[in-house]
Amino acid sequence: MVEARVRVIYGDTDQMGVVYYANYFRYFELARSEYFRARGGSYRELEREGRFLPVVEASCSYKGSARYDDLLLIRTQVSELRRASLTFEYELRRQSEEKILCTGKTVHACVGRDGKLVRIPERIAEMLQASAPRA
């Protein structure tokens, strides 16, 4: 798993001082970007090659509340790698605690500039393969 950290800013919270539910998906996006960096790649490189990874499915299971100024730790891994799609899984907690605040999953299709499905580039698949079984 790759770890990313983010501090909750006031603008991420609702009137009760709790992180607004949709912001967890932004934290997942941050973690995905850090995952690619940790593996020696980036979304930007992939997009320069005319490949894009839009989210086609997303879920989040909330188990506790993050609040303003919490330092969050997001653990990310690729749980499935297919020819033209991949799945990331996430665990989010306060850095200082073991209690999981939420878990999530995003499924991404690999598409070309025209929006049609294409094979994940072999270089990217090899980079990700170390953490996920290839289907």
pLDDT higher than 50, residue 134 = no
Q: Which of 12, 14, 70, 114 is catalytic?
A: 14
Tell me, which fold does domain 2-129 have in CATH?
Thiol Ester Dehydrase; Chain A (3.10.129)
Can you tell me the mean pLDDT for 63-67? 97
Claim: this prediction has a pTM higher than 0.85: yes
Can you tell me the mean pLDDT for 88-92? 98
The CA distance from 89 to 115, in Å, is 24
Q: Is 14 a catalytic residue?
A: yes
Can you tell me the mean pLDDT for 70-78? 97
pLDDT higher than 80, residue 131 = no
